[in-house]
Structure 1
């Protein structure tokens, strides 16, 4: 009997996770890597990062990817990536504010400059996960959170929006409606709805995201029978200045 969960997108993601496991097998942190014992973990915890392929408990895994003060952030990331990528997909990673924090951690490791095989494995994982999220009616991590992660990790928004644009089925449209509901408050204040490290000025990704929504969201929200007020929020994104906040559908709440 066919397993209905094994969609092409899920099979691609499973293959990408296996590739991560194989590519980063045997990796360790540098022998002289160090961190603050009172803020990060014990000497025994640190020693685990210098032994390959030993699974970390979730608390230690979280402390490791969140830490910003490794001497060699890239080596530490490579050590944890097989377990970390699986934990991400399973919804076991809980950032303090949003999943863009994971993107910041990946970007801090400069993964795109790693040897070709390693960089390709990370890139394929991100793209495979994003493609699978858009076809999953109940993903472990919301689509808008994965978008922020991927954009921050890669330093670009365009390829992820292009994939979403091409996915015109009901599941992708439902994720879009949820994303707009999550984003509209910030976007109507002309703010990017996640914290960015990869752009000197958040105006660039904010303008790109806003323009994309104005072009593509209305028809897809209609198809989802989205609330009328949500459709008006998208319409308001196309207005500026008094035309926006004097509109009769401007939300009656503090912005």
Structure 2
């Protein structure tokens, strides 16, 4: 296990400890989609909730629950651990959108802080492993939408000058250049975050010498960069997210 993978394991264990104070409560919600036994299981010990039920709740729309923020907060450690390790089988973009709906950044400081540590450790571990359990694009999308900022994660990638990080970069570029998707690239299940300008500017300036892909020199992309190449939302205010 590499150093960054060890740091991720440590962050996930710290997440469990931080959320240990979230006690069970009577969960109520849509009885058309969830049986009484499902609601009873969700109201009981966290470790007895089945993986299938956890996945269903992780993806479910907030309106299905009478107290969605509290339920998602209580399940967060298991949801995040399963997502990070690629065992949740739920669209990563959807998890980010649900966390935003649960207003995770407003949770008590120890809880939100533990999640911040996981985002940073997960991102570094992703850049350090190829292939990983979750693709670099899906990881970047989840943490960007969850934190509301892309630039801090790009800064970490810029500073990570390793063969693995560059190999991940090549895979990422090959993905987002299909049919010039990067010119209209949104992150999040509901396309909450417009990442086009930030990503294209980053690739064509800071990372061009590390990106061995002639398609980045296409006139169409260069022109698009000149026309729309401006920083996206949250660049300055949240630049330090993920550092540490």
* Alpha-carbon shift at residue 186 of structure 1 (Å): 6.2
121-130 vs 190-199, which moves further? 190-199
Partner of 2:31: 37
For residues 187 and 161 of structure 1, do their structure 2 counterparts lie closer, same or farther at Cα, with a shift above 3 Å needed?
farther
Q: Which of 54, 71, 86 is equivalent to 1:91?
A: 86
**Is contact 2:97–2:145 with CA below 8 Å preserved after alignment?**
yes
The verdict on how the C-alpha distance between 1:45 and 1:110 changes in structure 2, with shifts beyond 3 A counting, is same
Structure 2 spans left out of the alignment, 5+ residues: 228-244
**Matches of 2:16 and 2:100 in 1, distance apart?**
20
Where 2:89 maps in the other structure, the secondary structure is coil
Q: TM-score, normalised by structure 2?
A: 0.82
Report the equivalent of 2:99.
106
TM-score (norm 1): 0.79
- The answer as to whether partners of 1:34 and 1:71 remain within 8 angstroms in 2 is yes
| Greater than 3 Å deviation, 4+ residue runs | 185-189, 193-199, 230-233
Change (3 A) 1:147 1:153: same
Q: What count of residue pairs does the alignment treat as equivalent? A: 224
Compared CA separation, residues 152 and 189, structure 1 to 2 (3 A): closer
- Asked whether the 8 Å contact 2:96–2:188 carries over to 1, the reply is no
Greater CA drift, 188-197 or 67-76: 188-197
Tell me by how many angstroms 1:193 deviates: 4.5
Aligned partner (choices 238, 243, 246) of residue 222 of structure 2: 238
How far, CA to CA, are the matches of 1:166 and 1:37 in structure 2?
A: 50
Partner of 1:24: 19
Rg larger for? 1
Instruction: Give the CA RMSD over aligned residues.
Output: 2.4
Q: 2:83 touches 2:92 (CA, 8 Å); kept in 1?
A: no
Which of 175, 178, 182 matches 1:185?
178
The structural deviation recorded for 1:82 is: 2.4
